[in-house]
Amino acid sequence: MGNQTGLFVVLEGMDGSGKSTHLAYLQRLFETKGRSVRLTREPGGSEFAEVIRQQVLFAPMGPWTEMLAVAAARRDHLEKTIWPALARNEVVLCDRFSDSTWAYQVRGRGLPEAAALSLESWVLTDGRGPDAVFYFDLPPEVSFERRAARASASGETAVDRFEQEDLGFYGRVRQGYVEAAARRGSKSHWIDATQSIEKIQSKLQAMISNI
């Protein structure tokens, strides 16, 4: 990581792909190595961004408002939470970041690529982005099954705006992640999320030792 302080790690993937499960595992791995870990998420992760999160998930809005809202939330999250944690040499483990915008708003909703790329570069204009991104890849059908199983186990009935989308939308989201991972080059770590949790965790352990 050269002379940079801290480490900024992002987990991406569809609902049910295992991000929360593996965030907790990665936290333990890093803490075992003696690192301080800051767990966070998008949209959200700062007071302002958590307010935006509620709106983006549940309030009716058009695709442009949605993309601009997640970008505004991201900037506040970086300023208030991520950049200060990196400056303290912490490991930031973030559930989703800007590749979700590419997958959901550009590929899912069909917004222009140039708009998302431009927003990302402005949001990151005076600070750094992720050092590593883990993509948990899952067929949309499996995502739907895991989401349903989790909902029935927890009794959770609230369905957000993204959970109302169909298999076609999530097929495009999946393709969007393939593109986002290609763009990040050596910072990308692609994981087949249909494998067992144990197998994925042993791969994560190996990947982490190379970051």
Q: What angle do CA 151, 157, 158 make, to 5 degrees?
A: 115
Helix, strand, coil percent values for the chain (each to nearest 5): 60, 15, 25
What distances in angstroms separate CA 54 from CA 1, 100, 134, 194, one per listed residue?
35, 17, 25, 30
Does 27 engage in binding with ligand ADP (CB under 6 A)? Answer: no
Residues in binding contact with ligand ADP, number by CB under 6 A: 15
Cβ proximity to ligand ADP: between 113 and 156 the closer is 156
CB of residue 136 vs ligand TYD: minimum separation in angstroms? 9
Are the C-beta atoms of residues 13 and 138 closer than 8 Å to each other?
yes
Does 28 engage in binding with ligand ADP (CB under 6 A)? Answer: no
Does 44 engage in binding with ligand ADP (CB under 6 A)? Answer: no
Does 16 engage in binding with ligand ADP (CB under 6 A)? Answer: yes
Does 6 engage in binding with ligand ADP (CB under 6 A)? Answer: no
Cβ proximity to ligand TYD: between 35 and 39 the closer is 39
Four-residue CA torsion sign, 191, 196, 198, 202: negative
Binds ligand ADP by CB under 6 A, chosen from 8, 10, 12, 13: 13
d(CA 82, CA 75): 10
Which residues inside 99-158 make contact with ligand ADP, applying CB under 6 A?
146, 150
CB of residue 78 vs ligand ADP: minimum separation in angstroms? 21
